[in-house]
Amino acid sequence: MGIVAALDQSPQFPLDDHGEQTPREECGVFGVWAPGEEVAKLTYYGLYALQHRGQEAAGIAVGDGDQIVVYKDLGLVSQIFDEQSLDALKGDIAIGHTRYSTAGGTCWENAQPMFRTASNGSDVALGHNGNLVNYLELLDDAARKKLVDPTTKPSDSDVMCALLAHGISDDTSLVESAKKLLPTIKGAFCLTFTDGHTLYAARDPHGVRPLCIGRLDRGWVVASETAALDIVGASFVREVDPGELIIVNASGVRSERFAEKKHKGCVFEYVYLARPDSVIRQQSVHETRVEIGRRLAQEYPANGDLVIPVPDSGTPAAVGYAQGSGIPFGLGLVKNAYVGRTFIQPSQTIRQLGIRLKLNPLRQIIDGKRLVVVDDSIVRGNTQRALIRMLREAGAAEVHVRIASPPVKWPCFYGIDFASPGELLANCVEGNDEDAMVTSVCTAIGADSLGYVSIGSMVEASKQDYDELCCACFDGVYPLGLPTGNPNAELVRKMQH
């Protein structure tokens, strides 16, 4: 039994331009059981499809029945793995993970999959998407059992992996350990884990984050999004049910329930987080975004000559806005597809160019036009402020901003890395009522007018029931509760009272 890991002491990631932190999904998970297939390469392509869910670190764990080998590092999937490293990962089972950090910092130790060895010598590797609200309780439990050093501030994923392995003995299997541990975990979690013999997947009882099952010709796949199934040629079977534990091995697929399901799927998956070519609860993400745009046009019409998106996340909603308003759709901004999070710190001169590193206007298209600019959300407002200034410099006569989500007023504690409450622009401007707040935000970003889609229209576009969605970042209602010992959670408690 053992572990092999690539350790590259890479530098920390710098802030993106303007210091703007867009909403970021914490992680993407993938798992495959397919004897006779190149499971490491299948996982590599699955993670490639899930790269948008995490760009700070990635890793793959492969089990062959004798040992689990883990290869992980900081960076993008394509930067970490090559043909040689993938060829070295031999086995019938693999799990993969691509990560942004919320619980735990950006360092190699927090890259996943996590790995632990049980007292009986069994290996356990685990990947986690989400965020826990009872992390401190679990940390205390793991510390009392001397499984972790709390002074090192291990991630919630590492604590779960440690507790999972601790529950294994000569008389207790991994599945029995999981069935005991999972009901004690509170918060949002989608897990893939393995002992090298069997693939496991689990989803929290509220189903906050998506997780689905796919069928290969000679195996099975689990993934955060259906788009990852498409990439590896797996056919969609169904979603993992909230509160369900899936067991995949030579006997097939078996299901165990560890908690009653209470659907509270994240509405922001439809708005921004998920890939547009994914499907969540039988609803196309792309179609939801187009419909949000149509409804936005009805709620907040504008006198404009051209509807342009902020690419790429604003594009489907902009298409819908153009359809709903009758204003022509156009591409007024060009995105540099190769600008992401980078290890290279830009010079001050380059930093001053700001948003032009990512977006550049098509002057011939927008010069003299009254623009309706459709974006997915406003967080701090820095990006929108710089973008509007750039469009005016390129000759735009008017800039009317339309946002395909309601005002973001509350932080997320279930796996999205938002700014703190005091940094969210909707909380920072003057105005006690909604209209005054929107007017203040409009002035702050320099737009001629501003409109946000309503919560009701957003929910209706998703074709889900409001009671089965988590809209906490928009309405401040936290269905899974708030974490203890979290400064932002304490601020939220004060805001609520």
Q: Is 268 a member of any domain? A: no
Are residues 191 and 228 both part of a single domain? yes
Cβ–Cβ < 8 Å for 125, 70: yes
Are residues 125 and 168 both part of a single domain? yes
Query: Radius of gyration (Cα) for the chain, nearest Å?
Result: 23
| More confident position, 448 or 356 | 448
Q: Residue by residue, what is the 3-state secondary structure of 352-398?
A: HHHHHHCEEECHHHHCCCEEEEEECCCCCCHHHHHHHHHHHHCCCCE
Annotation: binding site for Mg(2+): 313, 375-376
Q: Residue 332 belongs to a domain with what CATH number?
A: 3.40.50.2020
* Dihedral (Cα; 440, 442, 443, 444), 10-degree rounding: 80
Amino acid at 261: K
CB within 8 A of 138, min separation 6: which ones? 132, 156, 159, 160, 163, 184, 185
Q: Is the pLDDT of residue 12 over 90?
A: no
| More confident position, 270 or 10 | 270
Are residues 306 and 256 both part of a single domain? no
Q: Is the pLDDT of residue 319 over 90?
A: yes
Are residues 246 and 318 both part of a single domain? no
Per the structure, the complete domain to which residue 205 belongs is given by 24-262
Amino acid 19: pLDDT: 41
Q: Is 53 a member of any domain? A: yes
Number of separate domains in the chain: 2
Are residues 229 and 113 both part of a single domain? yes
Place of tokens 């070295």: 88
Are residues 241 and 293 both part of a single domain? no
Annotation: binding site for [4Fe-4S] cluster: 266, 412, 470, 473
Cα–Cα distance, 283 to 287 (Å, whole number): 8
Annotation: binding site: 266, 313, 375-376, 412, 470, 473
DSSP, collapsed to helix, strand or coil, labels residue 341 as coil
Are residues 203 and 291 both part of a single domain? no
Q: Residue 243 belongs to a domain with what CATH number?
A: 3.60.20.10
Cα–Cα distance, 118 to 109 (Å, whole number): 19
Instruction: Decide which of 262, 295, 329 is a domain's last residue.
Output: 262
Cβ–Cβ < 8 Å for 359, 331: no
**Which of 21-35, 220-234, 355-369 has the weakest average pLDDT?**
21-35
Among residues 27, 161, 190, 212, the one annotated as catalytic is 27
- Which of 346, 421, 419, 354 shows the shortest CA–CA distance to 388? 354
27 included as an active-site residue: yes
Q: Is 11 a member of any domain? A: no
Highest mean pLDDT: which of 93-107, 368-382, 409-423, 425-439? 368-382
Amino acid 56: pLDDT: 87
Are residues 106 and 243 both part of a single domain? yes
Are residues 55 and 155 both part of a single domain? yes
Amino acid 350: pLDDT: 66
Residue-wise pLDDT tens digits, 18-72: 344 454 446 999 999 999 999 999 999 999 999 999 888 999 999 998 999 999 9
Report the share of the chain in percent with pLDDT over 90.
76
Q: Is 364 a member of any domain? A: yes
pLDDT band at 342 (very low <50, low <70, confident <90, very high): very low
Are residues 70 and 140 both part of a single domain? yes
Amino acid 13: pLDDT: 30
